[in-house]
Structure 1
Amino acid sequence: MGKGDLISADTHNPYWSNSHHRHFIRGVVRFLIYLCAFFLAAIAYWIADNFGEPSLEQLLYHAQFGMGGLIDTDAAVIKSFIAWCIALPILGALLLVLIEYSIALFLTHGSTHWLTKPARLANIHFIKVFYWFIGHRAPLYALTAAAIYFGIQFSVTIFVHNLFGKDYFAAHYLNPTTVKIEAVQPKNLVLIYVESLENAYKEPKLFGKNLLSSLDHLKGLSFTHYKKAPGTWWTIAGITATQCAVPLKSVSLYDGNDQGEKMKSFLPNAVCLGDILHEAGYHNVYMGGDALGFAGKGMFFKDHHYDEIYGRDELKGNLTDAELNYWGLYDDQLFAAAKAKLIELHHKKQPFNLTMTTIDTHGPDGHFSKYCKSLGVKTFESIVECTSNQVANFVKFIKKSGYLKDTQVVILGDHLAMENPVSKKLDRVKERLIFNQFVSNSHFERNRNHILPFDMFPTILDFIGFKVQGGKLGLGYTAFSKEIDLSLLPNDEEMNQDLLNQSDMYLDLWKHKSAL
């Protein structure tokens, strides 16, 4: 390399300059750009790998809880997040900056410094072409590629539409406070949310047999087309939709509130299932295997009149960490605790609502409990079957105990399955539908088979003996009452497009009553 080459190299070289300070600043800037690019790509991949393919709304919703929501999960989740989303981007960015610096030293000075060894081992012509035409712009290229990947992964274009589209929510939401609700022949309620349970698991063509046959043998009533809806795609969103008939989405972006870790109440102005049952004299109990702090689940039940709320920390008792799973209790441990609680509640002679959420069928790999492994369970499909058998056995216990004379049972998938070992099989199903079953000694007739999560709120009330005037609450219509004018049901296409749009009425549901 001649003197002219050296001058030219120095002119364009993003690292080497007469000023070491300037050289250091450029290196730091390139490092930070690379770090941002790697972080965007890593967080998108990590979330998809652990939670399926969430929307940007879902990501922002969880971000509202800050690190608190993450800390309340299992240590393995925290370690995975640190490894993939913090350590790996830092190491990747540092490695690229060192490689670029090595190439810069080699091209400008032919240095024998140890940092130039990677460059000296490579093809010199390839290095020149890469460095002068690509290398000095590489951080921007990397950031652009990561932003595109992130945007595709989280449907950013849809999110932008939600910011400026028409207010669908205000046009269709019916506040339950304006509806007359009567307890005509009220019965107890056992409401079981089964993690990621969908009808596709019944398909012998996919799995060799019906994995949910034990639930089918309960001979409960089911709605054959129970479909997902916007803002209902993950557990707490599914719970909110079915108990309050509203979607779940981030609100801090719209109203400027610092709702992250300062979030102190969960839809305080929404009237939900627990609120109505409380007013009717019910004792509301929630039991779940994971931590109450994750995604604000405990806050939801507390703010909507659940009298007893049990999560991982409240239920684990003397169980060691080795006896718990990725999130908390295994399903067999949860059902054992729920059985004891059910006996206690029934003996008190006060109307009650026992709500539960399972966890073993959670992606990405499911959780192999000691109980299921003792039965030979070795695959994810077998976990699904083992969990469905445990739910069925719990309902059989209710029947055998004679509780069905005054107790109704509702079994729901909280949402469609996310990323798991059988996702490719599930994706082959033309129309994926959420599992649901209503178990009762009484006879019920459907007014339709197509329902959404929002419809579950008035439908469950109808099922346990409440009369909802007009049959509508929130965004939901009861699927039992014949009084419903089916022509009033929402248009699915319009709802899918506009429900998550910005809405002042929706924001009001989140505001403290003193601020209204």
Structure 2
Amino acid sequence: MDKARLIPANTHNPYWSNSHHRHFIRGVIRFLTYLCAFFLMAIAYWIADNFGEPSLEQLLYHAQFGMGGLVDTDAAVIKSFLVWCVALPILGSLLLVLIEYSIALFITHGSTHWLTKPARLANIHFIKVFYWFIGHRAPLYALTAAAVYFGIQFSVTIFLHNLFGKDYFAAHYLNPIAVKVEAVQPKNLVLIYVESLENSYKEPKLFGKNLLSSLDHLKGLSFTDYKKAPGTWWTIAGITATQCGVPLKSVSLYDGNDQGEKMKTFLPNAVCLGDILHDAGYHNVYMGGDALGFAGKGMFFKDHHYDEVYGRDELKGKLTDAELNFWGLYDDHLFAAAKAKLIALHKKQQPFNLTVTTIDTHGPDGHISSYCKSLGVKTFEGIVECTSNQVAGFVKFIKKSGYLKDTNVVILGDHLAMENPVSDKLDRVKERLIFNQFISNSHFEKSRNYILPFDMFPTILDFIGFKVQGGKLGLGYTAFSKEIDMSRMPDYEEMNQDLLNQSDIYLDLWKRKTIP
């Protein structure tokens, strides 16, 4: 019997065609379908493995900055992305298409073709059943499964709810333009954001000791119930929430901005901490170890009246590549530069705000500086302790220099820790809370222990001697004033559910600047 007649010519075999062109097109379509499926699964797994469980909003936000933001990330993260999300999906798709092609040739040509060798290793009847009932639809099945996995991983149902739910933001946002903020007894501000710092690191049951003991010894005032909130889960989002009293979310999906073009301004219609301090005569300075281009961080500070903005490229000076980590400056070099800047600012006799962001405790693995290595640090727990010691050392320098007479210090975790080598231990904590500490020579009394990132905006202003009329700015309520009616504060569960819903008022904050 002619082997070419093993199956009818009118079957649905995608490779059965007298036209080599059609045969090639079908193969390409199957390859691209597999590639889309494997890419969706790979990127969902890769993001979870490197960054924990970010929301779809967070993913879309970073996408707004395109490749310009990507190239400023950790080189090891980029390499991992290329391996897991590019190379493996391509190789996997090619392999599957070749296997399918081998099976198709085996069914149509028997064992006469060299590509049929893999198929000859299996039973011919099994191959026929599998191929005709499952195989020719396999790319579609794979793409469907990948879409479901991706949707579960990034809570797409929640994202869809955000598109069509009620406008929570408009109902609760108080534009700072409408609030009287006056400097009563203003002090300088040193604001330190410590990467991924949370109270869980204090647990001896988890880590054998309190990794943040050096910070506790500073005996500052802390809010013991500092919770995360929607749209504040990553660094620039945490900064935006604590300085502007608003969440951070993707806006291009709603207003039609070109995804391929970098955003030109950062919340230009929002009034933030830097804007208020600028109007009060402050000189604002930002210093961070990573690149200013990543996630629009540099744009945020420049657009909100920071007079000097320094990132990796501006601070590295004569440091060699061997003295930098993949993100940029290690924390020891960063604090050395911050000390020099603090001395210079204090000499000017002009009120100032020095904001610093650290990076050594950044996931997924952290970065061990030469300073920490000299102390014997080899683990991620050691990095956390070494960084907290360096922050404490910087504050001790401020105290020893006598700067606390006219300067107050605020230390904040920018957000809860994401995926890192001790995530399994952190996940055992029933309620994870963000680290915070307020240090001053003056006496302060808390009106409550419960606080959110948005509340930090008016609370910090209150802390450095500003009077906020009504105690509210943006979505935040000061935690030092006893004038706040606690019964009128928003419900936390309702905020979690609806804050990121589409809002025209929120979009207005991103439009062309209309305030002076």
TM range (shorter): over 0.9
Contact 2:3 2:109 in 1 (8 A): no
* 2:142 equivalent in structure 1: 142
User: 2:515 and 2:283 mapped to 1: Cα distance?
Assistant: 30
Deviation at 1:127, TM superposition (A): 2.5
Aligned partners of 1:121 and 1:508: how far apart in 2?
A: 64
Given that residues 275 and 305 in structure 1 are in contact (C-alpha distance below 8 angstroms), is that contact kept between their aligned partners in structure 2? yes
Is 1:188 the equivalent of 2:188?
yes
Q: Which moved more, 1:317-326 or 1:442-451?
A: 317-326
Give, in angstroms, the shift of residue 99 of structure 1. Answer: 1.1
Q: Specify the alignment match of 2:291 in structure 1.
A: 291
What amino acid is the match of 1:303? D
> Which residue is equivalent to 1:317?
317
- CA 1:68 to 1:508, structure 2 compared with 1: closer, same or farther past 3 Å? same
**Residue 513 of structure 2 aligns with which residue?**
513
Where do 1:382-421 residues align within 5 Å? 382-421=382-421
Q: Secondary structure at the match of 2:232?
A: coil
Aligned sequence identity (%): 90
| Residues 9 and 198 of structure 1, relative CA distance in 2, 3 Å threshold | farther
Cα distance in structure 2, aligned partners of 1:254 and 1:35: 28
1:308 is displaced (CA, Å) by 0.6
Distance in 1, Cα, partners of 2:131 & 2:205: 54
1:216-236, Cα deviation, whole Å (9 max, x unpaired)? 000000000000000000000
Structure 2 residue identity aligned to 1:418: M
Structure 1 residues 16-64: Cα deviation after superposition (integer angstroms, max 9, x where no partner): 2122222111111101101111111122122222222110000000000
SS in structure 1 at match of 2:210? coil
The answer on 1:455 being equivalent to 2:455 is yes
The equivalences for 1:41-80 within 5 A come to 41-80=41-80
- Greater displacement, 92-101 / 119-128: 119-128
Report the AA paired with residue 161 of structure 1.
H
* 1:174 lines up with 2:174 in the alignment: yes
Aligned to 1:11, the other structure's residue is in SS state: coil
Q: Which residue identity does 1:468 align to in structure 2? A: V
**Could you tell me which residue of structure 2 aligns to residue 115 of structure 1?**
115
| Equivalent-residue separation in structure 2 for 1:69 and 1:146 (angstroms) | 26
Match of 1:355 in 2: 355
Q: Could you say if the C-alpha distance between residues 145 and 227 of structure 1 is closer, same or farther in structure 2, counting changes exceeding 3 Å?
A: same
Partners of 1:378 and 1:400 in 2: how far apart? Answer: 31
Give me the whole-angstrom Cα distance separating, in 2, the residues matched to 1:310 and 1:120: 64
Say if 1:68 and 1:261, in contact at 8 Å, map to a contact too.
Answer: no
Q: Distance in 1 between matches of 2:230 and 2:367?
A: 28
Q: Cα RMSD over matched residues?
A: 1.6
User: In structure 1, what is the Cα distance between the partners aligned to 2:425 and 2:56?
Assistant: 25
Q: So what's the TM-score if we normalise by structure 2?
A: 0.97
Distance, in Å, in 2 between the alignment partners of 1:321 and 1:261 is 30
1:302 is displaced (CA, Å) by 0.4
Deviations 1:447-468 (A, max 9, x none): 0000000000000000000000
Alignment correspondent of 1:271: 271
Match of 2:408, SS state, is strand
Contact 2:111 2:117 in 1 (8 A): no
SS at match of 1:88: helix
Q: Which residue number in structure 2 is paired with residue 15 of structure 1?
A: 15
CA distance in 1, matches of 2:424, 2:444: 36
Aligned: 1:342 with 2:342: yes
Correspondence 1:280 to 2:280: yes
- Whether contact under 8 Å (1:9, 1:108) holds in the other structure is no
Q: In structure 2, the residue corresponding to 1:189 is in which secondary structure?
A: strand
SS in 1 for 2:231: coil
In the TM superposition, 1:298-309 aligns within 5 A as 298-309=298-309
Mapped to 2, the partners of 1:159 and 1:227 lie a distance apart of 21
Distance 2:129 2:320 in 1: 58
The CA deviation at 1:324 is 1.1
> 1: distance between equivalents of 2:384 and 2:348?
34
Q: Structure 1: any 5+ residue segments left out of the alignment?
A: none
Change (3 A) 1:89 1:483: same
- Runs (4+) of structure 1 exceeding 6 A deviation are none
Cα separation, 2, equivalents of 1:508 and 1:496: 22
Query: Distance in 2 between the 1:450 and 1:427 partners?
Result: 21
Single out whichever of 194-203 and 107-116 deviates more from structure 2.
107-116
CA gap 1:20/1:260 in 2 versus in 1, 3 angstroms: closer
Match of 2:103 in 1: 103
Contact 1:9 1:107 survives alignment (8 Å): no
CA distance in 1, matches of 2:374, 2:3: 76
AA matched with 1:15: Y
Give the Cα separation in 1 of the matches to 2:452 and 2:74: 32
The residue aligned with 1:433 is 433
Match of 2:34 in 1: 34
| 2:220 corresponding residue in structure 1 | 220
How has the CA–CA distance of structure 1 residues 98 and 453 changed in structure 2, closer, same or farther, with 3 Å as cutoff? same
The 1:484–1:295 alpha-carbon spacing in structure 2 relative to 1, beyond 3 Å, is same
Which string of whole-angstrom CA distances, capped at 9 and with x for unpartnered residues, describes residues 90-128 of structure 1?
Answer: 221111111110111111111433322222233434323
After TM superposition, the score normalised by the length of structure 1 is 0.97
C-alpha distance in 2 between matches for 1:118 and 1:407: 74
CA distance in 2, matches of 1:470, 1:174: 11
- In 2, are the aligned partners of 1:65 and 1:261 still within 8 Å (CA)? yes
Paired residue secondary structure (2:11): helix
Aligned mates of 1:515, 1:451 — CA distance in 2: 29
C-alpha separation in 1, matches of 2:34 and 2:380: 37
Structure 2: unaligned runs, 5 residues or longer: none
Deviates more, 1:114-123 or 1:57-66: 114-123
Query: Displacement of 1:259 after TM fit?
Result: 5.2
Counterpart of 1:7 in 2: which secondary structure? coil
Residue identity opposite 1:104 in structure 2: A
Say if 2:231 and 2:247, in contact at 8 Å, map to a contact too: yes
Alignment of 1:121-132 (within 5 A): 121-132=121-132
Q: What's the secondary structure of 2:247's corresponding residue?
A: coil
Number of equivalenced pairs: 516
Once residues 195 and 261 of structure 1 are traced to their aligned partners in structure 2, the CA distance between those partners, rounded to angstroms, is 28
Partners of 2:52 and 2:317 in 1: CA distance: 31
